[in-house]
Amino acid sequence: MREWFSRISLLVVAGLKFGKFFGTVGTMLLSIGLYALAYGWRYAVGIVAMLFIHEMGHYIAARQRGMNVGMPTFIPFVGAWVELKDRPHDAETEAYIGLAGPMLGTVAAIAAWYLARDGGVHWLLAVAYTGFFLNLINMIPLPPLDGGRITAVLSPRIWLLGVPIIGALLWFHFSMILLLIAILAFPHVMAALRFDKNHPANQAYYDVSPRVRWEYGLLYVGLIAFLAFMTNDLDRQLDGVRRSDVQQTESGTV
C-alpha cells in the first residue's frame, strides 16, 4: 500500500509542472491515495469517481448554458467542486446547474448499487451508499450546497429552512466539514433575512414563471425522497453485512 501511495505522490508532484493537470488529475490522484490509506483502494477509487461524476454534472450543465467553468478540483476528506467563472444570469440557470450535479451523481450511485446488489460486492455497495448519502446532504436548502442553488429559483427565503437542518446535524453528528458549511452559509442566511423581492435587481434575477418553479420544486422534493429512501435502505443492508461478518468471525474463533 505504501509503495502504491508513493507512486501516486510522484505523479502528483510531476503534475505540479502542469497547472491544469494538477488542478483535476493531480488532486484526484492525491484524494485516491489518501482515501486508500484509510479505507482501501477499491473504495477510494469508487468514492472519488462518485465525486467526479457529481461535479461533471455541474460542469456539463454550466457549459450547456454557455458559462465559463473550470474542471473539478478535489480536496481529500472534504469533497470536490467546479469553479464557475461566470455568474449565472438568472435564478433558473443557477438552479439548472445546481440540480445537474445531484442528478448525475444519483445516476452514478444507482449504477454502483445495481452492480453490487446481485454480486455481493460489499465495497461497491458501500460506494453506492456513500454516493446516495453525499448527494442527499448536498440537497440541504442552503448555499453553498446544491440545495441552496436549486431552491433559489423558488425563493432565497427557503434557505432559512436549512439553518435548523445544519444545526441538528452539527448537534447530533458534529464534523468539521459541517462546521465549514455552516460558516460558508452564514452570509447567505443574512442575505435571505434581508431579501427584498421588490428590489429591481432581485426582480430581474428571480423573474421565473410559476410553471418553472413548480417543475424545479417537484424535482427537488422527489430527488430528496428518493435519496433518503436509498440511503436508509443501503444503510440497513450494510448493517446486515457487518453483522454477518461479525458472526462469521465469531464462528471461526469458536
pLDDT tens over the chain, length 254 residues: 545 445 544 444 444 445 555 578 888 989 999 999 989 999 999 999 999 999 999 999 999 999 999 899 998 888 898 988 888 889 999 999 999 999 999 999 999 999 988 766 889 999 999 999 999 999 999 999 999 999 999 999 999 999 999 999 999 988 888 999 999 999 999 999 999 988 998 899 999 999 999 999 999 999 999 999 999 999 998 887 777 665 555 555 55
β partners of residue 190: none
Task: Kindly report the three-state secondary structure assignment for every residue of the chain.
Answer: CHHHHHHHHHHHHHHCCCHHHHHHHHHHHHHHHHHHHHHCHHHHHHHHHHHHHHHHHHHHHHHHCCCCECCCEEECCCEEECCECCCCCCHHHHHHHHHHHHHHHHHHHHHHHHHHHHHCCHHHHHHHHHHHHHHHHCCCCCCCCHHHHHHCCCCHHHHHHHHHHHHHHHHHCCCHHHHHHHHHHHHHHHHHHCCCCCCHHHHHHCCCCHHHHHHHHHHHHHHHHHHHHHHHHHHHHHHHHHHHHHHHHHHHHC
Q: Which residue has the cell 428590489?
A: 199
pLDDT for 79: 87
Give me 49's grid cell: 469517481
pLDDT for 25: 84
Q: What is this structure's pTM?
A: 0.87
